Structure 1
Amino acid sequence: MAHVIVTGNEKGGSGKSTTAMHLFAAIARQGFRVGAMDLDLRQTTFFRYLENREAFARRTGQDLSLPERIGLQPSTLRDRVEAEAEEERWFTQAIATLDASCEFILIDCPGADSFYSQMAHASADTLITPINDSLVDFDLLARMDPETGRVLGPSIYSEMVWQARRLRAGAGLKPVDWVVLRNRMSHIDARNKRKVGDALEHLARRIGYRLVPGFSERVIFREMFLNGLTLLDLRDQGFAFSMSHVAARQEIRDLVRALNLPGMAEAA
């Protein structure tokens, strides 16, 4: 079966689509077939990134890798139970279609709760939760005592992940590998940065995720969106790399290595 990778949390602007796009590029460069779903049905940032890539390939006559994409729509049924049943049927069909032709399926979730997002989390073999390196985003995972810094309990999102784990266990599936990604990390060893790091390490032991470093704050990530390119594509475009770009590309390679995706180590 295809390995399902989900980028998800319930906060926008944390780098979910950028992470999904660079993971696609890294996996595709190793010769694997990749399927893609964008469950942010309003913004569709991941799919717009891929559409920009397709348009750039047409303009330049290049053969850029693209995933097999399946788009979904929200149910228009008024009854909630019937609407969720219809969306579950569409989601299951999409997964089955991609599973028949792909080794990996990438699913990008919206920065809000939805029934599609809940199903995606329950389907994930690898769940990646990017968070910006701040106490504001830490609240996505848990509630913290403002005076002592002690973790008081899991957030609504963490409880949703726990429920998804229960569903997987009930279906006899292997446990999800939950990875929390620290994004937009500052190069300055600030007190806030250390406080976030300590809290994340403590919470990882409590609710069972792996903590891995993500991407630093770099302008290049925003600049590549319009052409649908990733840092792994730029050398083929004759791009002149600075030390910052080299460091950013190494961050991507470190992330892929840390994820321990099936077959990637052997392919690399």
Structure 2
Amino acid sequence: MTRPLIKVDNLSIHFGLGRRFFGQAPVLKAVDQVSLRIEKGAFFGLVGESGSGKTSLGRALLRAAPVTAGAITYDDGAVRYDVGGLRGSKLRDYRRCAQMIFQDPYAALSPRMTVRDIIAEPLEVMKLTRTRAETDARVREIAAKCRLNLEHLRRFPHAFSGGQRQRISIARALVCRPKFVVADESVAALDVSIQADILNLLKRLQRDLDLTILFISHDLSVVAHVCDHVAVMYHGKIMEQAPTRQLFSNPGHAYTRSLLSAIPSLDPDVPLRAQVYTGG
């Protein structure tokens, strides 16, 4: 087994729900004592219904959400971070290692910036390049890997379709050469035909750039297509986690079985799990 790039131990994220004059204020346990190991080079799926805590967990791994208790460790062999304790320059260094691809390709991009400037922004903010020529070279390199037309780098986001905008978002996340990427419902807002294109792009980039990806989704059929390991989340807890083939062929938890049974069947004569699981 390879070294875990991300290790999560008993992580909790709680939010207060207002105040009470008498008694203790109610608390929402968005994440409740979750432990995970995400191996280096994995395409790790995190699935569950809306409100299960998936996004809160993903954001916490990037230090973009407050943590109530527990520990998150990043270790790529060259550097090691206690993510919860990062401050100042150490936190900026971690931002180079871990990035996010957001769900909505329309809201994620500034309409006032060109594609070139959107992709270049992380390089400039983190001071990863010294000259404009070096920045432009990095932008063109990652744009080509994301199969963006280099002639379109001077255009604005409104000129592009949802799928093209998501490619721009992916390029922006990868331009600083991170090792770990959280893709939060990154194809949920796209048409089905475009979803497959973006999923295939993510798989190719994962292989070519040696990425570790946490893929958050509510869609088990999408997760089955791209992920090699899956964790199922419900009401802030991990119900079950296993290699994809094992989880889809022999789910061990009743909640996982209920999620699988909710997937529409395309052929009543073929077992449902055989229709869903398409991995190797």
Q: Tell me if TM exceeds 0.5.
A: no
**TM-score, normalising length from structure 2?**
0.32
Higher percent of residues as strand? 2
Larger radius of gyration: 2
**TM-score, normalising length from structure 1?**
0.33
